[in-house]
Structure 1
């Protein structure tokens, strides 16, 4: 059941996934071409050191996975039904890396960071203040402190390259002060979140550092919706955060 759910999610986002995969492949091939003239192995003793540090920059495509309420379903039968759909938006996050070697091909990674997101929900044919109907976009801005705990399974190193897979969980805390207020006609979300994360990347060794482009998927596990007594909030039953991120690591 869980596999089918994840497969459906990947199918819905197939265009974004294909774009992100090609971006990573293009970047990796460009870096590989730049290293063709380097025949020696860079940083040959890198794995002998158990602990490594670094930083990262990331650009995610983010959106809410939205589940409609029964009240929303009931109003679809009326002649003036309002539609509710989540939109995909770009974001940005950055942070630090603590990598600890556990075994020859297995590492533990703690990569705390701060993320800046603006997830949008579009309410079509919604009632306006002047009595007319139109489209209203509600954007929920979030400043998240994120604390991913990950396991990294890496392949055998081939000269200056190594593929890897990564997976784990990501607790998050929203610092946006607007979460504590409610103006009566908007949307509110919870401050705390927990997400399942997994991805694939490529370690590229340079003479003085290691660079790693990574494609990572994040699926929120907790309902972020806070129910209020207004037409926007009552149309929604459940909101969960979902990201597809291109992350650039420097270690």
Structure 2
């Protein structure tokens, strides 16, 4: 029975390996075909200085926290950790792209982004308290795009820049948030990422991944029970963009 079980496991392992190699080989063949296929829109990057489009972004985001001096005082002796959680979200926006050089573009992508940030306050008795912050931000990324040479219908690029953003909703004016974690309505981030331009007959499609790091202190109120143990909050976001131009 043990020998038969080992044989079955080896057979299943070989089957998985064969399937994985088949999928990888199929993907490589498709990529090779797209790379060396007849050029779609061969003069797309030369005929216009300014191009427009739209984007869809899917992101995961989390706070990074620093503790304040009050965290070690008797007032918070039962609190032993504040742990961030990664939360999903999405964004929608437009693209305005200016071609400055064959390999260099300047780009702005105004967008609306929907965020959820969660902090778990863990106590020494084994209990915890989750504080959820939901924000809708209007953001204005200003980016520099450095492109490789186009090969067939593919071009790789690196992108980076800054992203100021302001909260769209006016919750602070209509809600009593004295017993909630409060963050500033403004954020400022630096961004860096990479992607691929894929040229089709009627449009250009660009999958892109980008990391965003908030550089200002996003913590607003440090007087209530959620803000007092903290001295600083920064945002970290990883976004996968689908861009159409």
Deviation at 1:32, TM superposition (A): 7.7
Deviations 1:216-241 (CA, angstroms, capped at 9, x unpaired):
00000111101242221101111111
Residue equivalent to 1:98: 96
- Look up the SS of the partner of 1:226 in the other structure: coil
Does the aligned pair in 2 maintain the 1:76–1:82 contact within 8 Å? Answer: no
Does the aligned pair in 1 maintain the 2:59–2:89 contact within 8 Å? Answer: yes
Deviation at 1:123, TM superposition (A): 0.8
Q: Is 1:216 paired with 2:214? A: no
Does the aligned pair in 1 maintain the 2:110–2:141 contact within 8 Å? Answer: yes
TM-score between both structures, scaled by the size of structure 2: 0.82
From 219, 223, 226, the equivalent of 1:229 is: 223
TM-score between both structures, scaled by the size of structure 1: 0.80
What is the aligned-residue RMSD (CA, Å)? 2.4
Hey, what's the Cα distance between the residues in 2 that align with 1:179 and 1:82? 29
Pick the structure with greater CA Rg. 2
- Look up the SS of the partner of 1:72 in the other structure: helix
Deviation at 1:43, TM superposition (A): 0.4
From 120, 123, 141, the equivalent of 1:122 is: 120
Residue equivalent to 1:246: 240
From 34, 40, 43, the equivalent of 2:41 is: 43
- Look up the SS of the partner of 2:202 in the other structure: coil
Hey, what's the Cα distance between the residues in 1 that align with 2:32 and 2:172? 48
Deviation at 1:64, TM superposition (A): 0.8
Does the aligned pair in 2 maintain the 1:141–1:176 contact within 8 Å? Answer: no
For structure 1, list consecutive stretches of 5 or more residues without a partner in the other structure.
1-25, 127-131
Does the aligned pair in 2 maintain the 1:75–1:81 contact within 8 Å? Answer: no
Residue equivalent to 2:84: 86
Does the aligned pair in 1 maintain the 2:37–2:153 contact within 8 Å? Answer: no
- Look up the SS of the partner of 2:194 in the other structure: strand
Deviation at 1:35, TM superposition (A): 8.1
1:77–1:98 Cα change, 3 Å: closer
1:94–1:77 Cα change, 3 Å: closer
Residue equivalent to 1:22: none
Q: How many residues align?
A: 218
Residue equivalent to 2:142: 149
Hey, what's the Cα distance between the residues in 2 that align with 1:105 and 1:73? 53
Residue equivalent to 2:69: 70
Hey, what's the Cα distance between the residues in 1 that align with 2:165 and 2:28? 33
